[in-house]
Structure 1
């Protein structure tokens, strides 16, 4: 029997490209021979790529093309700077960290719902009521969501988010999304949502595009 390869996805819901990588890897986790680990992390101090004028102009076009290619309902918020830079995602990422610590089975739907809010419906992800509404839509009970919300200011959650971020940095992460795999005891890092075809080659699996249809293809 083939060994299941561990694939870690370090991501931040403020990053639209993280959403693309997230959806593609979630689609492939039962096709490729991988054990997908979702790792919420926050890389503070990095200048958002869109803040570089020419790159920002390019990103506006690129995000639309990539959203169509990946079949993800991604829409650019009306106030891009406000959503990405001024508001950020720290509270949301702490909430995801708490989810991962207490009820990890909800991490995938909760992450997706937060991306849907900011990157599809242009809604807030920073206020408590916004996070609770996202939790409800992701299937969490009101009692569990409230418990998790109360945890986001706890030292345990803050430290866990820092630890995961430091782990990503240890691997060499410099932006989101970052994918890390371990082959022959050595970590290999892939940056961005457009390196998944290369990832598949390294894993010895077949890339069937961002929306695969066939089960269990091999090279």
Structure 2
């Protein structure tokens, strides 16, 4: 059985789509998933990447694209009232309902639905309180506590060290797969596709033409 670490941030619509598509994409395979929330902004900043929201035309395209993808994939997706929004409250809330920096699928899915299903303000205080009530039975820690904050830092640093530069991303056996459209490639790896033994490292030997 393969162990997969799924790095996600609730601010990413692609992470929501990927979370919903993962079981279908990996159907029939033997694996275990560990869900780890990370701060996407820190991953982008490390690589001087403004992200889609930092480029006006790309921001607009992204919102149109994910809305279309949601329809095509049968995944409910409605853009929240404001985007991007500060994801820290949701990241810490989720981690308070997990263990050792990881969360289970129920917590990940519940928080994602809070953001992406109703088209409301993700950080509205009343909605956050309702979300806490939904997750009450899962609560393990104080979301404002130092332990939760440290887990978020550690998860983000761990992702950076693994070579993760955005979300959604999956790490398995030291290999990182990125993006919703990376799911078929992840499936191929888990099935033991010989391509990975022959070609995976070849990309690292391509010389960069940038000065």
User: Do both proteins adopt the same fold according to a TM-score greater than 0.5, normalized to the shorter chain?
Assistant: yes
The aligned counterpart of 2:83 is 83
Q: Give, in whole Å, the separation in 1 of the partners of 2:177 and 2:100.
A: 28
User: Is this contact kept in 1: 2:101–2:151, CA < 8 A?
Assistant: no
Q: CA deviation at 1:126?
A: 2.7
| Equivalence for 2:177 | 190
TM-score normalised according to structure 1 size: 0.75
Judge conservation of contact 1:77–1:119 (CA < 8 Å) in 2. Answer: yes
Pair 1:65-2:68 in alignment: yes
Write the deviation string for residues 11-44 of structure 1: whole angstroms up to 9, x where unpaired: 0111000011111224456632111111111133
Aligned residues: 187
Q: Distance in 2 between matches of 1:13 and 1:110?
A: 11
C-alpha deviation, 1:103, in angstroms: 11
User: Cα deviations across residues 39-88 of structure 1 (Å, max 9, x unaligned)?
Assistant: 1111334323133122123212211221123321011234xxx331xx31
Task: Name the counterpart of 2:90.
Answer: 92
1:19 and 2:16 are equivalent in the alignment:
yes
Bigger mean CA deviation after superposition, 162-171 or 61-70 = 61-70
8 A contact 2:4–2:170 mirrored in 1: yes
Match of 2:106 in 1: 109
Alignment of 1:165 with 2:156, yes or no, is yes
Whole-angstrom distance in 1 between the partners of 2:23 and 2:90: 20
Q: Within 5 Å, give how 1:6-45 maps onto structure 2.
A: 6-27=3-24, 31-45=28-42
Distance in 2, Cα, partners of 1:49 & 1:42: 15
TM-score by length of 2: 0.77
Q: Please give the root-mean-square deviation of Cα atoms over the aligned residues, in Å.
A: 2.6
After TM superposition, the structure 1 stretch with the greater mean CA deviation from structure 2, 10-19 or 124-133, is 124-133
Partner of residue 155, structure 1: 146
Distance of aligned partners of 1:96 and 1:41 in 2 relative to their CA distance in 1, 3 Å threshold: same
In 1, Cα distance between equivalents of 2:72 and 2:146: 40
Structure 1 regions of 5+ residues with no counterpart? 207-219
Q: Residues 76 and 126 from structure 1, CA distance in 2 versus in 1: closer, same or farther, beyond 3 angstroms? A: closer
Q: For 1:161 and 1:18, locate their aligned partners in 2 and report how far apart those are by CA, in whole Å.
A: 17
In the aligned structure 2, how far is the partner of 1:102 from the partner of 1:196? 26
